Structure 1
Amino acid sequence: MGEGEEEGKIRCSSTVIIFCCIFLIVGLDVFAGFVAMQAEDAQQEVKQRVWLPECKSPSKKAFVLGLIALGCLLAAHIIAVMIGCSLSNTATVISGPEITEHINMACISLTWIIATAGVGILTMGIWTNRESRSECGFTNKHFLFLGGIVCFLHASISVVFYLTNIVSKKCCLRNVY
């Protein structure tokens, strides 16, 4: 087996791994988004405790679905950052184009910002549905729905992050060989 064939197999297997990671991350984020929206629906189905529109009973179903959405968002973010950063480090070792390094840094920063916002928003939605809640308040603010939208946004930024890694690797490999 020649040297070129081995390099081709390595590139092919790394590309397959990258696309599998993209599908896993997007799948987790999309699942988290849909589950968060179902949690919002479950929260809206709960009857009001008193005549005030801001005072609803907590929904156990919304609480559990919110926790599932939060777990999926966190898992997708951890996978995206760990594998994405390792890919971008290997691309920069080969000394890739400077513009892709800036795009990678912007994407990883946006991924962190969006994940942090998503975790905060989903946590607020979960917090309003806890069983021990006795006060009325921010129950009708659609935090779970907004958290679902942020999950979809996290998926799209993660895909851009991975695609810039793929582009930078191909550019780098062309320059080396």
Structure 2
Amino acid sequence: MVKNATPLICLSVLIMDVVAGILGIQAEIAQNKVHHLKVWIFECKDPSYQAFKLGLAAAVILAVAHVIGNLLGGCICISSKEDYQKATANKQLAIASLILSWITLAVAFSLLIAGAMSNRKSRKSCGLSHHRVLSIGGILCFFHGLFIIAYYVSAKATFKEGKPKPTTPSNPA
């Protein structure tokens, strides 16, 4: 087993978030290639099955990266504002980055799913234009990667701080 798996886990989570971001941006590009009819703020467009597949894949990969980062990072709990203020810097960073990663996940996942669902094969939509939903979701995947890695590293550092240091028996002379 790997003695210190932190770099490997961080790299794999970062790669998943980057892939999800690229897929989200590629979905936006595929969506823009279909036929559009636009009058002021109203737009009619044909669905793009390619954009649907790419957007859905980006959302799934983003969710998997988030689950891996949270499960392997462990649980950091703070019950009050006073606990937060008394906590070490690593624990404060872990809590802050955990909250930011959840917020970023919620927004990015929602945008990717909304963009993918607007491109379902069975749907031709007319209504208000929703430009750049998939690409904004894809860009937020990059930020999610930064936040989840910051959480993982600071959570691991917090757990190391809490462990008692091994004592060596003193040599009585």
Please indicate the TM-score interval, normalised by the length of the shorter structure: 0.7 to 0.9
Partner of 2:118: 128
Deviation digits for residues 55-107 of structure 1 (CA, Å, limit 9, x no counterpart): 11110000001111011001101101111125x58xxxxxxx62222221111
| TM-score, L = length of structure 1 | 0.77
| TM-score, L = length of structure 2 | 0.79
Structure 1 residue matching 2:46: 3-state secondary structure: coil
Deviation digits for residues 13-42 of structure 1 (CA, Å, limit 9, x no counterpart): 1x2x12111111101100000011111100
Paired with 1:72 and 1:51, the residues of 2 have a C-alpha distance of 32
Q: For the Cα contact (< 8 Å) 1:36–1:65, is it kept in 2?
A: yes
Paired with 2:31 and 2:154, the residues of 1 have a C-alpha distance of 39
Q: Which amino acid aligns with 2:145?
A: A
Paired with 2:55 and 2:156, the residues of 1 have a C-alpha distance of 33
Partner of 1:29: 17
Partner of 1:61: 50
Q: Normalized per residue, which structure has more helix? A: 1
Deviation digits for residues 119-141 of structure 1 (CA, Å, limit 9, x no counterpart): 11111111211122233135542
Give runs of aligned pairs for residues 136-147 of structure 1, distance below 5 A: 136-147=126-137
Paired with 1:58 and 1:139, the residues of 2 have a C-alpha distance of 13
Unpaired runs of 5+ residues, structure 2, are: 78-86, 167-173
C-alpha RMSD over aligned residues? 2.3
Paired with 2:17 and 2:134, the residues of 1 have a C-alpha distance of 14
Paired with 1:158 and 1:67, the residues of 2 have a C-alpha distance of 21
Q: For the Cα contact (< 8 Å) 1:33–1:151, is it kept in 2?
A: yes
Paired with 2:19 and 2:128, the residues of 1 have a C-alpha distance of 25
Q: Percent identity?
A: 30
Match of 1:112 among 102, 108, 112: 102
Unpaired runs of 5+ residues, structure 1, are: 1-9, 90-96
Structure 2 residue matching 1:54: 3-state secondary structure: strand
Structure 1 residue matching 2:45: 3-state secondary structure: coil
Paired with 1:108 and 1:119, the residues of 2 have a C-alpha distance of 16
Paired with 1:155 and 1:138, the residues of 2 have a C-alpha distance of 31
